Amino acid sequence: MTIDFFTPVVDDPYDYGAIAAANSLSDVYAMGGMPFMALNVAALPPDLPEEISREILRGGAEKAFEAGVVVAGGHTIQDKEPKFGLVALGMARSESLMTKAAVRPGDRLVLTKPLGFGVLTTALKQEKASPEEVAEVVSWMSTLNRNASRLAIELGIKAATDITGFGLIGHAIEMAQASGVKFEIQFDQTPILESAQNHARERVFAGGAFDNQSYFGKDVTFTCQLEEHQQLLLFDPQTSGGLLLAVPPEKLAEFEGQAQEIQQPYWIIGKVYKGEGLEIV
């Protein structure tokens, strides 16, 4: 069982509801579970037009339906700023659970969505994002992590997490520390939305990126020459980001083949070694 909710990250209420639902369900997928029931959690201003509230809930409900999840009710209160998300309930077989602590030396690190969502949603708030850029990031954020999770379960992958508020570096460090291993991530193999890179050059970052850098920076080593905005993109907090999977080398070819067959995006961004910490190369 998990819960997640947040304030609007996009202007369109339907998209906001769908993204919030996809994000809430992601924690279940990240552990190898399949969600089946959810409850709405909503805080809505009393003066918010009814059609906007309706669209937020409709976006969440239709995304839940896509996931095969029944929205069985929920709870709503009044608040000055809209907030929406789900309590999500899922089931998993004990032998299929994926955790942060099951990474082993030799595993390959695979990411299933690109980075840059925090930059683009911040650009949107600052009215600097084009309609095309907004459409692209909404498409990624509202995509369920269901297929990536199912593929990992089928192949017996045991280690995963989803990339959300702590950014790629924060969540990678959590996995490395929990498993007692060292992560090496190749910057030039890490997918970052081109539009996010453009805004990052103009230092359009969410405050959470700097918080993540301050908190996790001591545990990461940069051995390649990166500009400040490139480093910050790795700390960029994601909303409804992808899964970070640790795939055993003997399963990598099968993973790639099946991912291509089901059109599941993926990027091999690094490798696991004995030792500790995180190195960006």
3-class DSSP string for 63-112? HHHHCCCEEEEEEEEECCCCEEEEEEEEECCHHHCCECCCCCCCCEEEEC
CATH number, residue 91 = 3.30.1330.10
Single out the residue of 57, 170, 157 nearest to residue 110, CA to CA: 157
Same domain assignment for residues 122 and 203? yes
Distances (CA, A) of 140 to 46, 65, 98, 212: 31, 18, 23, 22
CATH number (domain holding residue 222): 3.90.650.10
Residue finishing a domain among 39, 74, 95: 95
User: Taking the mean position of all CA atoms in its chain, how far away is CA 220?
Assistant: 20
Token pair of 1, please?
């069982």
Question: Vertex 277, ends 273 and 280: CA angle to 5°?
Answer: 80
Q: Are residues 137 and 240 in the same domain?
A: yes
User: 113 and 71 in one domain?
Assistant: no
Q: For residue 46, count other CB atoms closer than 10 A to its CB.
A: 7
Give residue 166's pLDDT: 97
d(CA 267, CA 79): 40
User: pLDDT tens per residue, the chain (281 residues)?
Assistant: 999 999 999 999 999 999 999 999 999 999 999 999 999 999 999 999 999 999 999 999 999 999 999 999 999 999 999 999 999 999 999 999 999 999 999 999 999 999 999 999 999 999 999 999 999 999 999 999 999 999 999 999 999 999 999 999 999 999 999 999 999 999 999 999 999 999 999 999 999 999 999 999 999 999 999 999 999 999 999 999 999 999 999 999 999 999 999 999 999 999 999 999 999 99
Element (H, E) at 199: helix 194-201
Of 60, 95, 130, which one is at a domain's C-terminal end?
Answer: 95
49 and 128 co-located in one domain: no
| Same domain as 274, residue 141 | yes
DSSP SS3 for 93: coil
Q: Check whether residue 162 and residue 45 sit in a common domain.
A: no
Q: Are residues 53 and 32 in the same domain?
A: yes
DSSP state of 156: T
Q: How many residues does the structure list for the chain?
A: 281
The pLDDT, as a whole number, for residue 11 is 95
For the chain, give me the number of helices (H) and strands (E)?
10, 11
Q: What is the pLDDT of residue 16?
A: 98
**DSSP-derived 3-state class of residue 42:** strand
Report CA-CA distances (Å) from 101 to 56, 145, 170, 179, 194.
36, 20, 15, 4, 32
Q: Do both 21 and 114 map to the same domain?
A: no
Pair 54, 160 in one domain: no
Domain that holds residue 29: 2-95
On whether both 84 and 213 belong to a single domain, the answer is no
Clarify whether residues 134 and 273 are in a common domain. Answer: yes
Closest CA to 200 of 232, 226, 169, 225: 232
Q: Are residues 195 and 111 part of one domain?
A: yes
Q: Domain tally for the chain?
A: 2
Domain boundary among the residues 95, 124, 154 is at 95
- For residue 226, give the 3-state DSSP assignment: coil
